């Protein structure tokens, strides 16, 4: 098992660049694969999650040229051009890969079985399978979890589906199945979630309507190959955004961050906590707004986090809990029950880690209350093989006077290859242990 020893650090400085957006990278391969002609992708996240998607689509007959680590050409096979893979498709740790693929594969004329690692095999898939079955898809899950088998089903029917939870993965799976359905497929969400699928489909020439909380499209539309410049992932930038608020030297900047408004809950939450941050907007890339974000050491204060911001910061909450630990007073997070079904039960795992480092907290069914303002004590923290838990506690070293050991950090490579080098250049002290 791979572990880290993280020694206390006093500041972060310089200019940091994070790898490409995970959500956009997955979608670039999936949509590129069912488009007509070439799709050129730059800034692709060559992390294990997106490489699992890439390998799955190659196994379904999509040729991909890797020009360099982060540049690809996907040679699209058209809406009906994918072929049966000769093996079970292993999506590794990637919820986005398996759930969006379930939608896309519902409309194919061949059978596919999808699985993943132990974490993915414990995550709920009926939230996607049930609405897809309403469209006519034939899907078997294993007690609601992977492995999942998607069988050929003939023509799907469009549906009008109110999402029971705020999930971009479920919304996206239904819209992708909708490309293969008769008539209009509409999804209405209870709160806004990331809209990369809608934006990227438009980039491929598909007409997608957005009307308030409802996104819809008419089936049978063809995708035309395009160019996609993937911006830096705000979910990876998040570790440095919080680090900058806790201990940023003058001139600390996180460059080239995607600031799609359905992803910027972290910026709003940090600002409410008193963060001194400046957004320098750059030219948009591939239909997505992008900025350099400048941070200064700030006196953060505890707040009650508005629950409507939670879905807009869902992947950033673990590191926001570290910001709360460094803030004066109490911070209360509510409306975050979805965190319990991520790569780990992120509420429980973060509460356990915070307790170990001596941060008083109270775990709730849908959130956590964190008492900030304490220096952290030496401790061993189990990341439960969750990449974002591991990186969050690396940032916590800015609040510590003694070393932290973080266990089971292998999966950091799913979303942030090169994290230790980038964090080290900024001023954190992370070593293999």
Q: How far apart are CB 165 and ligand S3P at their closest, in Å?
A: 8
CB of 80 to ligand S3P, least distance (A): 24
CA–CA distances in Å: residue 328 to residues 196, 324, 367, 419: 35, 8, 19, 28
List 23, 53, 260, 414, residue binding ligand S3P (CB under 6 A): 23
308 within 8 A of 253, measured Cβ to Cβ:
no
Q: Helices 22-33 & 168-178, crossing angle to 10 degrees? A: 10
Query: Per rule CB under 6 A, is residue 260 in the interface with ligand S3P?
Result: no
- Annotation says 432 is catalytic: no
User: Measured between alpha carbons, how far is 62 from 223 in angstroms, rounded to an integer?
Assistant: 15
What is the helix (H) or strand (E) element at residue 184, kind and residue range? Answer: strand 184-188
From the candidates 49, 195, 315, 382, give the one annotated as an active-site residue. 315
The reply on whether position 392 binds ligand S3P by CB under 6 A is: no
Candidate segments 163-171, 177-185, 268-276, 363-371, binder of ligand S3P by CB under 6 A:
163-171
Strand partners, 210: 215
Per-residue burial over 35-62, b if 16 or more Cβ lie within 10 Å, else e, is bbeebbbbbbbbbbbbbbbbbbbebbeb
State yes or no: residue 115 binds ligand S3P (CB under 6 A).
no
> CB-based burial of residue 292 (10 Å sphere; 0-12 exposed, 13-18 middle, 19+ buried)?
middle
Q: Is the peptide bond before 168 cis (omega within 30 degrees of 0)?
A: no
Listed ranges 67-75, 167-175, 182-190, 327-335: which one lies at the site for ligand S3P (CB under 6 A): 167-175
Q: Binding to ligand S3P by residue 9, rule CB under 6 A?
A: no
Closest CA to 241 of 168, 325, 354, 322: 322
Q: Which is nearer to ligand S3P, 49 or 408 (CB)?
A: 49
Name the residue nearer to ligand S3P (CB basis): 41 or 376: 41
* CB 314, min distance to ligand S3P, A: 5
Q: Can residue 168 be called a binding residue for ligand S3P (CB under 6 A)? A: yes
User: How many other CB atoms are found less than 10 A from the CB of residue 283?
Assistant: 7
If the CB atoms of residues 9 and 97 are measured against ligand S3P, the closer one turns out to be 97
One residue of 112, 172, 185, 298 binding ligand S3P per CB under 6 A: 172
Q: Identify which of residues 206 and 399 has a Cβ nearer to ligand S3P in the complex.
A: 206
Which of 31, 92, 186, 194: binder of ligand S3P (CB under 6 A)?
194
Residue selected from 25, 39, 96, 331 as contacting ligand S3P according to rule CB under 6 A: 96
What residue ranges in 239-355 does DSSP mark as E strands?
A: 252-258, 276-281, 290-296, 330-333
Main-chain phi, psi angles of 17, to 5 degrees: -125, 130
User: Is residue 119 a contact point for ligand S3P (CB under 6 A)?
Assistant: no
Interface contacts to ligand S3P, rule CB under 6 A:
23, 95-96, 167-169, 172, 194, 314-315, 338
List active site positions: 315
């Amino acid at each position: 098992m791979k572990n880290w020893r993280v020694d206390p650090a006093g500041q972060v400085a310089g200019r940091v660049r994070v790898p490409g957006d995970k959500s956009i990278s997955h979608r670039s391969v999936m949509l590129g694969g069912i488009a007509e002609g070439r799709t050129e992708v730059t800034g692709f996240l060559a992390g294990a999650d997106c490489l699992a998607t890439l390998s799955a689509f190659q196994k379904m007959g999509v040729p991909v040229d890797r020009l360099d680590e982060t540049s690809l050409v996907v040679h699209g096979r058209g809406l009906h051009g994918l072929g049966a893979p000769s093996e079970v498709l292993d999506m590794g740790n990637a919820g986005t890969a398996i759930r969006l693929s379930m939608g896309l594969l519902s409309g194919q004329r061949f059978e596919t079985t999808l699985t993943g690692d132990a974490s993915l095999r414990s995550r709920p898939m009926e939230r996607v399978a049930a609405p897809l079955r309403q469209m006519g898809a034939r899907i078997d899950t294993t007690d609601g979890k992977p492995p999942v088998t998607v069988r050929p089903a003939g023509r799907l029917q469009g549906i009008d589906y109110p999402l029971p939870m705020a999930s971009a993965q479920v919304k996206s799976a239904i819209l992708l199945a909708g490309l293969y359905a008769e008539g209009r497929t509409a999804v209405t969400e209870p709160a806004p979630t990331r809209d990369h699928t809608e934006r990227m489909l438009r980039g491929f020439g598909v007409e997608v309507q957005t009307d308030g909380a409802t996104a819809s499209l008419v089936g049978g539309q063809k995708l035309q190959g395009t160019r996609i410049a993937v911006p830096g992932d705000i979910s990876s930038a998040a570790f440095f955004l919080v680090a900058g608020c806790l201990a940023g030297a003058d001139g600390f900047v996180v460059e080239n961050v995607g600031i799609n408004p359905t992803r910027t809950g972290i910026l709003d939450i940090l600002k409410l906590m008193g963060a001194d941050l400046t957004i320098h907007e750059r030219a948009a890339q591939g239909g997505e707004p992008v900025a350099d974000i400048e941070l200064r050491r700030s006196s953060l204060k505890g707040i009650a986090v508005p629950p409507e911001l939670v879905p807009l910061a869902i992947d950033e909450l673990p590191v926001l809990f570290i910001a709360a630990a460094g803030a004066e007073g109490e911070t209360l997070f509510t409306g975050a029950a979805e965190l319990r079904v991520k790569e780990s039960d992120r509420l429980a795992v973060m509460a356990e880690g915070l307790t170990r480092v001596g941060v008083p907290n109270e775990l709730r069914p849908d959130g956590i209350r964190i008492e900030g303002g304490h220096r952290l004590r030496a401790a061993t923290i189990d990341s439960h093989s969750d990449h974002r838990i591991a990186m969050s506690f690396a940032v916590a070293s800015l609040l510590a006077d003694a070393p932290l050991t973080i266990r089971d950090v292998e999966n950091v490579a799913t979303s942030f290859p090169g994290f230790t080098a980038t964090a080290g250049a900024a001023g954190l002290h992370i070593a293999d242990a």
